[in-house]
Amino acid sequence: MLVIMTSILIIYYSQNGSTKKMARLISRGVEAVDGVSSTIRTVSSDINESDAIVEKSDLEKCDGLIIGSPTHFGNMAAPMKKFIDSTTSEWFNGTLINKFAGVFTSTSSMHGGQETTLLSMMLPLIHHGMIIMGVPYSEVRLNSTVSGGTPYGPTHVSNKDKDNISDDEHAICVSFGKRFGEVCKRYKS
């Protein structure tokens, strides 16, 4: 019997490690789904990263794409924006059309612009013809979190404590990844 793997690409930029940790938690959720794998890439080698730099061929190979960035003044960080701005040929070629997409972010304060960052990251993905997936309220932690977590995508509030992703944020990241993997697998088959 031929097993068709579903491949999810997770691209992130992280300055202080929080967004990288979120990428790994989302990946854990994705890979909890049988027949689904994840590949984690970063957009910049400015910081000593252990993950490979994303290549355009990664976009062609993936069945779904999740991107994450810290929030900078209510928007994604410049290295993520620079990568997205470099995907014009993929836009012309329709590389990402009808693939699922999701977004996640981390801020250093509660009102640091998480939702505007998530929405701004969605815009180029919509232009690419992607299908945006968020976090439904069936994820009960959205109703109890006092830190990060939105229906637009997983979020984290570090409050300058970069090592502490709350239990709610952790659960939202993992459940988002699992749902994303399940939907992409179902769509592919």
Ramachandran angles phi, psi of 41, nearest 5°: -135, 155
Retrieve residue 89's tokens. Answer: 């040929």
CATH topology of domain 6-27+49-188: Rossmann fold (3.40.50)
Is 103 in contact with 75 (CB distance < 8 Å)?
A: no
- Report the pLDDT value the prediction gives residue 161, as an integer from 0 to 100: 59
CA 44 to chain CA mean position, Å? 16
- Kindly report the length of the chain: 189
* pLDDT at 163 (0 to 100): 61
Torsion of CA 158, 112, 179, 56, to 10 degrees: -100
pLDDT score at 3: 65
- Amino acid making up residue 139: E
The domain ranges of the chain are 6-27+49-188
| CA distance to 61, 67, 122, 140, per residue, from 119 (Å) | 25, 12, 5, 22
pLDDT given at position 70: 95
Which two structure tokens, joined as six digits, stand for 189?
A: 């088959």
Q: Give the pLDDT of the chain (189 residues) as one tens digit per residue.
A: 566 799 999 999 998 889 999 999 999 999 999 999 999 999 987 666 688 999 999 999 999 999 999 999 999 999 999 999 999 999 999 999 999 999 999 998 878 889 999 999 999 999 999 999 999 999 988 888 888 889 999 999 987 655 689 999 999 999 999 999 999 999 988
